[in-house]
Structure 1
Amino acid sequence: MGRALIVGAGPAGVTAAQLLMRAGYDVALAEPDADTARRMRDMLAQAGLDLSVTDGPGDPAGAALTIEALEDEPEQRAPVLAHLAGRCPAEGLLLSTALSGLSGRIIGFRLYTPAHLRKLVEIAPGPDAAEVQIAAAFALAGALGRHAVRAPHDRPSIGTRLMRRLYEAADTLLIEGAIPHELDEAMVGFGWDIGVYEAQDLIGLAIAYADRKAQAETRDPNRRYIPIQDRMVEEGRLGKAAGVGWYRYPGGGGAVIDPLVEDLVREEAWFAGVTPRAFTAAELQQRLVLALIHEGALMLADGTAVSARDIDTVSLAGLGFPARLGGVMAWADARGAVWVADALARLAIEDAAVWTPPDPILECAADGTRLAEWTADGSDKGD
């Protein structure tokens, strides 16, 4: 397969390295931050993984494939990408785990994690990427055993928006009274392959933290900002690789409930002036799914998603939504647009900015059609 260089020794980079090694690549892993490189060398050695980490941005000369997999904010990633673009061979494939804000020939290539559960790759070609390079990126996804979907390079993808909305909905439930492990248990009881907080521990909390910081200037001021995850990261609760996140992982083993997390959540609720209340498992399950349906309808309306099927594909392969339900939009159609519109309207009484039913749902409720049939101009409905 040839030589592959991965720049960034965080969870995303290590995941990519392992998948590429299984596919037959000779992998070199580089980390620009010396302290991070040292920590990752220790962690990889303890885990028994045959991966070496070198300090610095790496040299892509001679590499058939280069992947930038840093978890920093865009301004910190930019100089590394510029270095790689200047030295990467013209025939080499240059990828980035970032999907938006890319330029030139760089192709966004987001591997969803945890890798043993998620089989989705979103591919976002840069404005100057050649068709042969785009085809090579899709072929690489297949070689890694992933299902690939195309994403835009100039705005958040379907997967990014669904994930952000899931995190927002879950964190809102926490500050209003839910307990992290009970929310995870409710999700698994509904059929998700893993709870959102245990999944975050496996992925690493620093990834979502960097994403939230990158959104600071464009965040809607009408939406509540829940700082719980920020505090988790700032207190060193970075996930399983660090031994502690939403759960503790004694000896690197399985997740163990940490009562200190519940204390942290309740303290943040007190700071926010929120009186916690109890939620049933059914309430937790319904709110999370309705949040994703709501975001899916918004994406249909603004053109981010071409069809409800695309949203279903991403929710299944990228988020772990129950396969038996066919995807979040398929679940909405099974319940009926009238039911969904009524459920969202009730939630909108609490927070209109977050829950007001979008036009696709209202229109489908009014004319009796399904979201799978909805088009922006109302034409060509039907399968």
Structure 2
Amino acid sequence: MVDSVVSQKTVSNVSVVSMANAPVNALSKALRVGLIDAVNKAISDTEIEAIVITSDLPLFSAGADISEFSGGDLSPMLPEVLALIENSPKPIVAAVNGGAFGGGLELALACHYRVTTEKNKVGLPEVHLGILPGAGGTQRLPRLVPAATALQMIVSGAPTPVKVLNDMFIKITTPESLLDAAVDVAQQAIGEVIPATSKIEIAMTEQLATVFAQTEAHTAAKARGFFAPAKCIDAVKAAFELPFNEGLKREGELFMQCMNTPQARAQQHFFFAERAAASIPSIAKDTKARDIQQVAIIGAGTMGGGIAMNFANAGIPVRMLELEQAALDKGLAVIRKNYENSAKKGKLTQEQVEQRMSLLQGTTEYSDLSEADLVIEAVFEKMSVKKQVFEALDKVCKDGAILATNTSTLDVDEIAACTSRPQDVIGLHFFSPANVMKLLEIVRGEKTADDVIKTSMKLAKTIRKVGVLVGVCFGFVGNRMIEVYGRESGRLVLEGATPERIDKIIYDFGLPMGPFTMGDMAGLDIGYFVRQSRKAFIEHDPSYCTVADELVEAGRVGLKVGKGVYLYEQGSRTPIPDPSVIEIAQRRAKELGIEQRQISDQEILERCIYPLINEGFEILKEGIAQRASDIDVIYVYGYGFPVHRGGPMQYAEEIGLQEIADKMQHYHDSLGEYGKHWFKPSDLLVELAQSKQALATYKK
């Protein structure tokens, strides 16, 4: 044993060095030290003629330990380990038994030979952390695979099947034969010329220059707002334009350029935020989750069908209920069509389509749900309708069944109170389209049992969702904050900004679409019905979404009818600005005594985004969200907030909490009665801005 995370054994004349730094063989300082010690020991041992490096864990290595990015004594750095391996006088073979990602793949690339298993995948995902491979990956990979492949792997960060990387691996075998194959390769290499990757000569050609130009153009369009992708291309280009050692130096320079950016800080924050969301400190670790073998869905419409597909995709039987057979048949037909479309695109086989459809059964009788372990209601967003459903479920569902509501705004406690088992009731708020969107807001009611929460969080992973626990309030976290954003964009139109200008500013900020395009796509009637149910909350402000209300009342509810804030040609989703909407805004502004004026781009951005952030602080203060980073996860996965900004709360920290507080106060003071009501800075925002306390350290 060389180190607690590195072991060494001898097979004939080969030293087999095995990594075991659970859970994913992160290349932490301990592992780096252990590898250096093991390799040096093998080199100095006259009985050893070759070396194999492998893993005792299912993964070869997931790469760097990014918790070390914050500093400390990092010596020896990974490039030092890799230089030792590549310059070894004895052949070294990487037996890549599982996924090799980031520094893990760079470790394999530095070895003289690589052996792996048939279904394995490898990758360089550093771009997702706002950086680029910094231990020679951008210089070694292009020397082993075609330039286009290297660019695709490094710029996208996506895992790549080893079967398309034959040039990189000397042998691809079965898991059972891997170690024997690696030892065999090592023994055959004894006495042969050791092939160091760094010695392979490559150069830029006219044809390669075209490949780089095409990649640059494609990346610029796809990766707007991100810093690292373009630098990844520059680093790979250096492999073809500079000698190896100079290329390494250039890679290091570009790595540091990436590291010192808001994008890198945001993307690394989000990496940890997503993992933190799964942690619920208030629930004992030994709490046992309930067994979910069968699921029922109430409602076979767009949302219910999408939810059902998640469970069928995971192999869980689903029974869907509609009271009318025609609605049920239509819902099941839409699901089949969705699966058939996936099959046409090559994403599913026809056998998989039939397998998933076989897991879906329909019924028009509540009594058929008696054996369901989990029932999810996905009916019309109206409290009286929800209560009718839960009263019916309470009568037919077995003891211990979890009763979940997919409500996006309503009071889960009020829904739970109409049952005899409020401890079994929880909110599972899926986002549309439910079979695509990764976010699942898990809404804890006042009486929701801990094991129901734990089951729901576990189930989110099973159906490949990112579950985030939230508390009960209007709109929970996501929709409560988006309400503020929608209100302010509507007010800006009354004050003289056009919808298309606001949408462009928000798009340029990094969201996939602006508030008016989003409203048209979702349906303006959805927000209208919510506002109708909250008249007491907004009656003091006659300007509140007044243009949107007028459009809905005129039947202009959005894309689905070809007109909303924008006009749409038949079969097109491209919004066309409509001057009549501006006329409505001008007329309503005049009636309300609102002066129209020229508004700067910066004011539009601040007034859309800063109140949203301010609401996040209110949510945090009230304990609706467990932590600030949970809000970021919800906004990135649920609303398309740009991950290169890390989410609204991380963005607030990046630009400064005092800046947010000051601007909120500025609009509070400068926008008359409207500002006084809607722009009061959150007490928590002001408190943390003044104390300079990091959001990550705040606990209610």
In the other structure, the counterpart of 1:23 is: 314
**Alpha-carbon distance in 2 for matches of 1:295, 1:169:** 13
Give 1:301's match in structure 2, choosing from 599, 618, 621: 621
Q: Which amino acid is 1:150 matched to?
A: L
Give 1:193's match in structure 2, choosing from 494, 499, 512: 512
Deviations 1:225-250 (A, max 9, x none): 22333333333333444444444454
Higher relative contact order (CA 8 A, sep 6+): 1
Larger Rg: 2
Give 1:290's match in structure 2, choosing from 593, 610, 627: 610
Is 1:88 equivalent to 2:397 in the alignment?
A: yes
Native 8 Å contact 1:4 1:26 kept in 2:
yes
- Alignment CA distance shift 1:222-1:241 (3 Å): closer
Is 1:256 equivalent to 2:565 in the alignment?
A: no
- Alignment CA distance shift 1:286-1:56 (3 Å): farther
Q: Which amino acid is 1:23 matched to?
A: A
- Alignment CA distance shift 1:179-1:113 (3 Å): farther
Native 8 Å contact 2:668 2:676 kept in 1:
yes
- Alignment CA distance shift 1:131-1:375 (3 Å): closer
In the other structure, the counterpart of 1:269 is: 589
Range with greater deviation from structure 2 (326-335 or 293-302): 293-302
Is 1:73 equivalent to 2:73 in the alignment?
A: no
Give 1:61's match in structure 2, choosing from 370, 376, 380: 370
- Alignment CA distance shift 1:295-1:224 (3 Å): farther
Match of 1:257, SS state, is coil
- Alignment CA distance shift 1:358-1:184 (3 Å): same
Is 1:163 equivalent to 2:482 in the alignment?
A: yes
Is 1:138 equivalent to 2:457 in the alignment?
A: yes
Match of 1:102, SS state, is helix
Native 8 Å contact 2:520 2:559 kept in 1:
yes
Native 8 Å contact 2:632 2:648 kept in 1:
yes
- Alignment CA distance shift 1:112-1:367 (3 Å): same
**Alpha-carbon distance in 2 for matches of 1:186, 1:203:** 20
Q: Which amino acid is 2:431 matched to?
A: Y
Q: Which amino acid is 1:364 matched to?
A: L
Q: Where does the alignment leave 5 or more consecutive residues of structure 1 unmatched?
A: 377-383
**Alpha-carbon distance in 1 for matches of 2:643, 2:508:** 13
Native 8 Å contact 1:102 1:126 kept in 2:
no
The 5 Å alignment of 1:357-368 reads 357-368=681-692
Native 8 Å contact 2:499 2:516 kept in 1:
yes
**Offset at residue 337 of structure 1 (A):** 2.6
**Alpha-carbon distance in 2 for matches of 1:244, 1:169:** 22
**Alpha-carbon distance in 2 for matches of 1:195, 1:106:** 35
**Alpha-carbon distance in 2 for matches of 1:269, 1:53:** 53
- Alignment CA distance shift 1:291-1:76 (3 Å): same
Q: Which amino acid is 2:575 matched to?
A: V
Percent identity reads 27
Q: Which amino acid is 1:329 matched to?
A: M
Range with greater deviation from structure 2 (347-356 or 297-306): 297-306
- Alignment CA distance shift 1:64-1:47 (3 Å): closer
- Alignment CA distance shift 1:195-1:235 (3 Å): same
Q: Which amino acid is 1:102 matched to?
A: I
Native 8 Å contact 1:71 1:206 kept in 2:
no
Native 8 Å contact 1:192 1:321 kept in 2:
yes
In the other structure, the counterpart of 1:381 is: none
Give the root-mean-square deviation of aligned CA atoms.
3.6
**Alpha-carbon distance in 1 for matches of 2:560, 2:314:** 24
Native 8 Å contact 1:223 1:354 kept in 2:
no
- Alignment CA distance shift 1:222-1:245 (3 Å): closer
Native 8 Å contact 1:360 1:374 kept in 2:
no
In the other structure, the counterpart of 1:7 is: 298
Under a length normalisation based on structure 2, what TM-score does the superposition of the two structures give? Answer: 0.47
Is 1:237 equivalent to 2:556 in the alignment?
A: yes
**Alpha-carbon distance in 2 for matches of 1:29, 1:201:** 29
Deviations 1:307-336 (A, max 9, x none): 322322222222221111112122122222
- Alignment CA distance shift 1:34-1:117 (3 Å): closer
Range with greater deviation from structure 2 (64-73 or 77-86): 64-73
Q: Which amino acid is 1:5 matched to?
A: A
**Alpha-carbon distance in 2 for matches of 1:69, 1:227:** 29
**Offset at residue 113 of structure 1 (A):** 2.9
Match of 2:387, SS state, is helix
**Alpha-carbon distance in 2 for matches of 1:32, 1:233:** 29
Deviations 1:187-221 (A, max 9, x none): 11101123223333343334333322332344573
Range with greater deviation from structure 2 (271-280 or 216-225): 216-225
- Alignment CA distance shift 1:47-1:345 (3 Å): farther
**Offset at residue 347 of structure 1 (A):** 0.5
Q: Which amino acid is 1:282 matched to?
A: Q
Native 8 Å contact 2:309 2:335 kept in 1:
no
Match of 1:5, SS state, is strand
Give 2:466's match in structure 1, choosing from 147, 153, 157: 147
- Alignment CA distance shift 1:102-1:347 (3 Å): same
Deviations 1:316-374 (A, max 9, x none): 22222111111212212222233222211211121111112222232334334444444
Match of 2:660, SS state, is helix
**Alpha-carbon distance in 1 for matches of 2:331, 2:587:** 34
